[in-house]
Chains A and B, each alone.
Chain A
Amino acid sequence: MMDEKLTFHFDVDGKDFTSAGQASVQVKKNLRQLGIPTEIIRRVSIAMYEGEINMVIHAGGGKATVSVDEECIEIVLEDNGPGIKNIDQAMQEGFSTATDTIRSLGFGAGMGLPNMKRYTDVMDIYSEVGVGTKIVMKVNIR
């Protein structure tokens, strides 16, 4: 049992596609050590991974913060990228502004944000064009 909130911080490098996802791999390891159920860990890590990749390919990198308490796991992703003009549109399956270069790297199906929504219990997006994007996701532990 955890009495206090545990928090992990990560800087997500926007220049290095190869290392993108490292923070999510680390979070997965940390949650395992905390004895969180496998199914919950998988949902958290997939959602965070999609968000981390988005920060790298669409926003030039950013920051990720994951906090864990007895009730839930919260993932906060923040970037100073171009922002999302139309959030409803971005949330639709298949919508993507990814370039051919990004597609050739295996991304740009327009499935990331819908996946994040599907795997989490709560997801809020705050975004302003020219300022950046903040995404808050929560997965309940019980």
Chain B
Amino acid sequence: MKISTMKELLGAEVLCCEEKLGGHVYSACGCDLMSDVLAYVKDQAVLLTGLVNSQVIRTAVMMDMNCIVFVRSKLPTEEMLELARESGIVIMNTDKRLYDACGILYSNGLVGNRVK
């Protein structure tokens, strides 16, 4: 799914790396526990989370994920956005809840991670 399509479906606001909206994600993960995210590699994936701290960004960096969506209108700090910019990770936020945001993407064809 194109990142810009995801933005539209979620009615999301882009907070950094707007120039990368043309990129694609192939799988998704909705989670507030970072080690669960780190358990299975997802290439070019999006992380949807209600957790907001620097470790969310570093987790995405470690996994080579290319987009993070913060749910329930949560706002990352400027420091976190800077970390994301360094690695070219698109950050957006949506007023949707985690369950709803995941459901919308799933029903539009973005499947979860297939366990290798």
Residues on A facing B (Cβ under 8 Å):
17-21, 24-25, 28, 38, 42, 45-46, 49-50, 53, 103, 105-112, 114-115, 118
- Inter-chain CA distance A110–B53, complex, in Å, is 19
Residues on B facing A (Cβ under 8 Å):
32-36, 38-39, 41, 51, 53-56, 58-59, 61-64, 79
Contacts of A46 in B (CB 8 A): 38, 41, 62-63
Q: Which 5 A-B pairs have the closest CB atoms?
A: A111-B35, A21-B58, A109-B33, A109-B35, A106-B34
Q: Are A25 and B51 interface neighbours, CB within 8 A?
A: no
B42 to A: closest C-beta gap in Å: 11
Q: Are B35 and A112 interface neighbours, CB within 8 A?
A: yes
Contacts of B33 in A (CB 8 A): 103, 106-109, 111
Contacts of A53 in B (CB 8 A): 34, 55
Q: Are B54 and A18 interface neighbours, CB within 8 A?
A: yes
Contacts of A108 in B (CB 8 A): 33
Looking at chain A's contact residues, the main secondary structure is helix
Looking at chain B's contact residues, the main secondary structure is helix
Q: Are B64 and A111 interface neighbours, CB within 8 A?
A: no
Contacts of A49 in B (CB 8 A): 38, 58-59, 62
Task: Give A22's nearest chain B residue, CB to CB.
Answer: B58
Contacts of B39 in A (CB 8 A): 111, 114-115, 118
Given contacts A24-B62, A45-B62, contact A106 B38 (CB under 8 A): no
- Inter-chain CA distance A108–B61, complex, in Å, is 20
Q: Are A106 and B54 interface neighbours, CB within 8 A?
A: no
A selection of 14 A-B contacts at a CB cut-off of 8 Å is: A17-B55, A18-B53, A19-B54, A20-B55, A21-B58, A25-B61, A28-B61, A46-B62, A49-B38, A106-B33, A106-B53, A107-B34, A109-B34, A114-B39
Q: Are A115 and B38 interface neighbours, CB within 8 A?
A: yes
B39 to A: closest C-beta gap in Å: 5
- Inter-chain CA distance A42–B63, complex, in Å, is 6
- Inter-chain CA distance A50–B56, complex, in Å, is 13
Contacts of B64 in A (CB 8 A): 38, 42
Task: Give A44's nearest chain B residue, CB to CB.
Answer: B62
